[in-house]
Structure 1
Amino acid sequence: MTKTPPGLPLRDYAALGDGRTVALVAPNGRVDWLPLPNLDSVPVFARILDEETGGSVELVPREAYESSRRYVEKTNVLETTFTTASGVARVTDAMVTGVAGRLPWAEFARRVDGLEGSVEFTWRISPGTMLGTRSPWLDRVGEHTIIRCGQLSMAVVGSDHGPASSDPTSADPAELHGHFATTAGSRHLLVLTATEGEPLRVPDPAKVDEGIDRTIDSWLTWSDEFSYEGPWSEQVQRSALALKLLIHSPTGAIAAAATTSLPENPAGGKNWDYRFAWIRDLAYTAHSLTWFGLREETHAAISWLLRTIREQGPDVLVMYSLGGSTCAGVVEYDVPGWRGIGPVVTGNPAQGQLQLGIYGDLIAISRTYVDDGNLLDVETARLLAKVADKVCDEWRSRDAGMWELEDEQHYTSSKMGCWQALTDAIALADGAHINGDVARWRAERDRIHDWTDEHCWSEDLASYVMHPGSDRLDASVLLHAPSGFDRGERMSSTIDALTRELGAGHLLYRYSGVADEEHTFVACAFWRVSALACVGRHDEAVAAMGALVTQTNDVGLLAETVAAGDGAFWGNLPQGLSHLALINAALMIKDLAPKEAHDDQ
């Protein structure tokens, strides 16, 4: 019998966040991922990538137990109920926020309420080695024992949480641990607070207890602003809450995912760092935020993106750091990775690629912002006009495509993205929002469409192909049913071809041949749903959507990829693109439903 390697299934994790970082919590009460103070910091708690020295925060009953969990409705606060032979207790986990929003320090709180009988808990704070780059140590300061790791300082406080102790002779001398027992009606609190390169705020546990309730109220207030009524409303709202976790509140940037180096390929190699802001992902997110009426996040994200492009110009890059800088090179760490599947890295090699589709994403989100009743500033208007001019020249170039491939080609979806860029630029010019050579934009837009129709369509396959001269198929062309490039017979036929070649039930692989390297890509399956709705195949879209929303884990989260055989999660999580695709598919079905379908809802 094959022994399962260490490392919990990725489906096991729920996510918490405070607008600055994200924690991943397992059903056993263990936090296996928590970068501090920022999401893109080298993580001090990273057991998910390094079982031995990665570090974790544990809180678990001493005796055998069963656990169940849920998010407090319409929040990103997690409740886990532990049932043992002797009693029942509930743990409420929160990344605590302040009266005016995000706290200027990190505060992870665990509140334990005794419900029945008695449950004895043990807790353990085991800082990691920051992927093998630092050695944590304990520092006694006054009455407090401080955990230091590099420039990071952490303190553990609580109420009725038992004595905090350490063992200097253990394998992890920087570890703090303790224990306590619940009774019916009791309340215990365990709090981890952290800062980096600045004084450490040690909170009053009573204030933290109040802060947990305030955090719940803050999430509820945010959710009350969320305006979606339609099919799959629960899944849409949970996906919106997952996306909110990826918004970096200090700048407004939106991370593609909350983790790094979780493998897409069981054989290793496809391990990327997604804690960056991709123009593509940010544009899709802002579209959804605008639709939901979430004004603050929309304005912050778009303003950050446009300002960052100007500051880091003149070229528009594929991605930027959450702080608004260009991305440094890839750094590989000498730790094993999840279940021993490496490498573990920070940074992303796609930084310097030419991806023509991002021009369409950039101008499209600017048009969405304007269509929502807003106005562009002078510098942004000039930037967008320059991008449109650039598209007129560069659309003829080979690029890396949406999938960031090393093989540069005339990728079909890239040409379609260039068509979208000029279409939206023309609309902005027609509305007097930008100025430019509109006649040239119109002429080149039409040339792109004609060229794509002639060179990127295969009569034999009855499908758009990945690039001219190829018989491979690419699911990213499905994005250009919603963009309006094609909502007719060719796109409908392409959907069928993609389903036959890349489909696994209602799931979908990214492109021909990739099934040998990775699992089905969650977003692609939802893109298929949106495309079905766009070409008028409403009933098929509804059926596929109903099947796909069951792919979430028990608390409604999605990873990057899903194994078609057993439904296991692979890749980074929570994955913004997966949740975005779910949201947009639901919106597309609702918006394009036939009248009789609307009448039935």
Structure 2
Amino acid sequence: MRPSERIRTPGGYAELRDYAVIGDGRTVAAIAPDGRIDWLPLPALDTPPVIAALIDSRHGGHFALRPVGEFESRREYVPGTNVLRTTFRTLDGAEAVVTDALVTGVAGRLPWAELARRIDGVAGSIEFTWSVEPGSAFTGDPVQRIDTVHGPLLRAGTVDLVLVGFEHGRTDPHDPASASAASRGLPGASGAPARFEGAFRTSPGSRHLIALCGTDDEPIHLPDPRIVDQGVDRSIENWATWSREFSYDGPWPEAVQRSALALKLLIHSPTGAIAAAATTGLPENERGTKNYDYRYAWVRDLAYTVGALTRFGLREETHAAVSWALKTLKRHDGELGIFYTLDGATPDPVRRTAAEGWNGIGPVDSGNQAAGQLQLGVYADVVGIMRLYVEAGNILDGSTADLLEEFANSACRRWPEKDSGMWELPKKRHYVSSKIGCWRALDDALRLVDLGELRPHPDSLALWKKNRGLLADWIAKHGWSEKRQAYVMSKGSTALDASILLHASAPFGPPERMRGTVERIRSELGTGPHLYRYTGVDREEAAFVACGFWLVQALATLGERDDATARMSALVAEANDVGLFAEMIDPGTHRFFGNLPQGLSHLALINAAVALE
């Protein structure tokens, strides 16, 4: 159990490793071991968070719920779900359990957001206090309390919040003048503080409920708290039903299933897009500057997710993701974008927020600086998605076949260009992994021809075969270093790049060259089971979680099962207490860094386990 006095710093921040997350297919809430919710964008993941103490403890806003006095806590997910249970125990041995859920409806996701916190008394008696205080650090808009004929609401920008519950001891103050006006049907701003709050005491067998509901620029539904209580159980069953459809009986089953559930939280159910992570602005080191917004859908991550979920017999998510990708690319006339908003639009320009950053480590931006970059590896991602989709038993439509043919033709035209590479670096170079990606795009396109799903013009077919050969020659001449005995990061470089590991199974060159590269990467970029992204980046950031799992997958592919298995076990043990990963881990301190939960980290875990299956 975690003692209460060790959960937060004097500045009010919890360690990133300490967060668990819940979600409903549209947004995600992050919960610390002391019961405080520090992150909640409403109504969707990529909208401004009304609760954002994660990135600004003073002004970000929070939903606190905790025992009075000292306590210990432990938590776990209800098995097979994304519903969290936290057990609180006080010094005198009293216990209560808090169940947190973003509630789902009878027919799926609710049309409004409904965050339910159910508290069950187990032993003895515990006094709890709670408060909901939306913040303005992200938007800059002051929060208002509005009194209506049906009770008060809090307005943060265009988001309206109401609170319902039972046995929750609500005590938040109100403005008598505004309440009187509201009783006459005249809603207006209140002079009362812009928060909800209360206190109650548990006893053995008691049940208490607090539910926060929100909408954005639309009327708000005031639910019956007893129906919300039933909705918590319904949400548990909905998640459990999904997990029963998840088919995997290989090694590390709990870690694989938890990773699949984490990925499910990042799937935006209205469109099928897959967010890279649920947060923005979390630092990749203790000094700041490398703080990015990952609440967008990267084509690369979507490709890896489709590949992973297809293996588990999950049909709806894979089809929705593929459909979103194709509709988005067609909407943008096949333009080679590397990421889009969750509804498929071009991202807005980067905007600096007023938030101070987690632990004071800023900056915090809305938007990502990599928008508009050229990344040639996207060709492999898009064509690779469709090869996997077809090989899983699906059929391409005519316009998709035309789009893929144009992508293959475009890869032939553009592969000689410099790009920003997978790591989205500001200086364009001839990155070797990008050239390998173009090779794989053409190889996959030719495989789709063999499967009868693409029927290109003979001139296009000849062009694909010719350029696949030219790329293999380029990789052999400029990507391989005799001196280093490894594929290097870019033409003329001696640096190593862990993204090469993603291509360990691709037959673009002699197998012994890939084997030598894997050995170099393992020895030079590795520290324990962890791996840094490329040579020299250890001076700028923590180890990249996904890279460690990529090495496991590469070693398994090359037949080095003993080392791969040992590394896999060590990496799985680096998850937090509820099985989640952020983007990065400091190998020395085991602290989490970067946004969370990170989809790529969990994808890499799944693929590594499958490779070892």
**Alignment TM-score > 0.5, same fold:** yes
Q: 1:486 to 1:173 in 2, by over 3 A?
A: farther
Distance (whole Å) between structure 1 residues aligned to residue 191 and residue 540 of structure 2: 38
Q: 1:497 to 1:5 in 2, by over 3 A?
A: farther
The answer to whether the Cα contact below 8 Å between 1:282 and 1:301 also exists between their aligned partners in 2 is yes
Please tell me the residue identity of whatever aligns with 2:494. Answer: D
Give the superposition deviation at 1:496. 1.4
The answer for the alignment partner of 1:176 in structure 2 is 196
User: 2:572 aligned with 1:549, yes or no?
Assistant: yes
Q: 1:298 to 1:549 in 2, by over 3 A?
A: same
SS class of match (1:44): strand
SS class of match (1:350): coil
User: 2:110 aligned with 1:103, yes or no?
Assistant: yes
Distance (whole Å) between structure 2 residues aligned to residue 485 and residue 351 of structure 1: 30
Q: 1:209 to 1:4 in 2, by over 3 A?
A: closer
Listed one character per residue, the Cα deviations across residues 366-399 of structure 1 (whole Å, up to 9, x for unaligned) are 0111011111111110000000001111111110
Q: 1:46 to 1:482 in 2, by over 3 A?
A: farther
The answer for the alignment partner of 1:596 in structure 2 is none
Residues 454-465 of structure 1 mapped to structure 2, 5 A cutoff = 454-465=477-488
Distance (whole Å) between structure 1 residues aligned to residue 235 and residue 419 of structure 2: 45
Give the superposition deviation at 1:482. 3.6
Distance (whole Å) between structure 2 residues aligned to residue 439 and residue 447 of structure 1: 12
SS class of match (2:292): coil
The answer for the alignment partner of 2:490 in structure 1 is 467
Give the superposition deviation at 1:483. 4.1
Distance (whole Å) between structure 2 residues aligned to residue 475 and residue 10 of structure 1: 25
The answer to whether the Cα contact below 8 Å between 2:140 and 2:354 also exists between their aligned partners in 1 is no
User: 2:537 aligned with 1:530, yes or no?
Assistant: no
Out of 49, 74, 84, the position equivalent to 1:78 is 84
Give the superposition deviation at 1:83. 0.5
Give the superposition deviation at 1:51. 1.1
Distance (whole Å) between structure 1 residues aligned to residue 436 and residue 349 of structure 2: 30
Query: Normalization by structure 2: what TM-score?
Result: 0.94
Give the superposition deviation at 1:210. 0.6
Q: 1:495 to 1:545 in 2, by over 3 A?
A: same
The answer to whether the Cα contact below 8 Å between 2:137 and 2:353 also exists between their aligned partners in 1 is no
Please tell me the residue identity of whatever aligns with 2:71. Answer: Y
Q: 1:250 to 1:563 in 2, by over 3 A?
A: same
User: 2:469 aligned with 1:446, yes or no?
Assistant: yes
User: 2:588 aligned with 1:565, yes or no?
Assistant: yes
SS class of match (1:393): helix
Give the superposition deviation at 1:130. 5.0
The answer for the alignment partner of 1:51 in structure 2 is 57
Q: 1:62 to 1:481 in 2, by over 3 A?
A: same
Please tell me the residue identity of whatever aligns with 2:375. Answer: Q
Out of 120, 127, 136, the position equivalent to 1:129 is 136
The answer for the alignment partner of 1:8 in structure 2 is 14
Listed one character per residue, the Cα deviations across residues 565-597 of structure 1 (whole Å, up to 9, x for unaligned) are 11000000000000000000001111xxxxxxx
Equivalent residues, number: 588
User: 2:74 aligned with 1:68, yes or no?
Assistant: yes
The answer to whether the Cα contact below 8 Å between 2:137 and 2:354 also exists between their aligned partners in 1 is no
Query: Normalization by structure 1: what TM-score?
Result: 0.96
Residues 372-387 of structure 1 mapped to structure 2, 5 A cutoff = 372-387=392-407
User: 2:209 aligned with 1:189, yes or no?
Assistant: yes
Report the RMSD for the aligned CA atoms in angstroms.
1.5
Distance (whole Å) between structure 2 residues aligned to residue 236 and residue 259 of structure 1: 22
Q: 1:22 to 1:188 in 2, by over 3 A?
A: same
Please tell me the residue identity of whatever aligns with 2:410. Answer: K
The answer to whether the Cα contact below 8 Å between 2:497 and 2:533 also exists between their aligned partners in 1 is yes
Residues 308-457 of structure 1 mapped to structure 2, 5 A cutoff = 308-436=328-456, 437-457=460-480
Out of 88, 92, 95, the position equivalent to 1:88 is 95
Distance (whole Å) between structure 1 residues aligned to residue 574 and residue 385 of structure 2: 29
SS class of match (1:16): strand
Distance (whole Å) between structure 1 residues aligned to residue 175 and residue 584 of structure 2: 42
The answer for the alignment partner of 1:20 in structure 2 is 26
SS class of match (2:264): helix
Give the superposition deviation at 1:439. 2.1
User: 2:229 aligned with 1:229, yes or no?
Assistant: no
Distance (whole Å) between structure 2 residues aligned to residue 26 and residue 4 of structure 1: 15
The answer for the alignment partner of 1:597 in structure 2 is none
Distance (whole Å) between structure 1 residues aligned to residue 24 and residue 142 of structure 2: 26
Please tell me the residue identity of whatever aligns with 2:529. Answer: H
Give the superposition deviation at 1:166. 2.7
Q: 1:499 to 1:485 in 2, by over 3 A?
A: same
User: 2:234 aligned with 1:214, yes or no?
Assistant: yes
Q: Mean Cα displacement is larger for which, 123-132 or 286-295?
A: 123-132
Q: 1:119 to 1:412 in 2, by over 3 A?
A: same
Distance (whole Å) between structure 2 residues aligned to residue 6 and residue 132 of structure 1: 21
The answer for the alignment partner of 1:598 in structure 2 is none
Listed one character per residue, the Cα deviations across residues 300-324 of structure 1 (whole Å, up to 9, x for unaligned) are 0000110011102241200000011
SS class of match (1:63): coil
Distance (whole Å) between structure 2 residues aligned to residue 487 and residue 67 of structure 1: 54
Distance (whole Å) between structure 1 residues aligned to residue 612 and residue 107 of structure 2: 37
Please tell me the residue identity of whatever aligns with 2:108. Answer: G
Listed one character per residue, the Cα deviations across residues 236-282 of structure 1 (whole Å, up to 9, x for unaligned) are 00000000000000000000000000011221111100000000000
The answer to whether the Cα contact below 8 Å between 2:268 and 2:275 also exists between their aligned partners in 1 is yes
Distance (whole Å) between structure 2 residues aligned to residue 458 and residue 58 of structure 1: 56
Please tell me the residue identity of whatever aligns with 2:51. Answer: F
Q: Structure 1: which 5+ residue stretches go unaligned?
A: 591-601
Please tell me the residue identity of whatever aligns with 1:174. Answer: A
Listed one character per residue, the Cα deviations across residues 65-84 of structure 1 (whole Å, up to 9, x for unaligned) are 11010000010000000001
Q: Structure 2: which 5+ residue stretches go unaligned?
A: 1-8, 177-189
Task: Name the % identity.
Answer: 54
The answer to whether the Cα contact below 8 Å between 2:119 and 2:209 also exists between their aligned partners in 1 is yes
Listed one character per residue, the Cα deviations across residues 189-235 of structure 1 (whole Å, up to 9, x for unaligned) are 00000001111111111101110000000000000010110110110
The answer to whether the Cα contact below 8 Å between 1:487 and 1:534 also exists between their aligned partners in 2 is no
Listed one character per residue, the Cα deviations across residues 454-505 of structure 1 (whole Å, up to 9, x for unaligned) are 2111111111100121111100000001444458211111111112221111
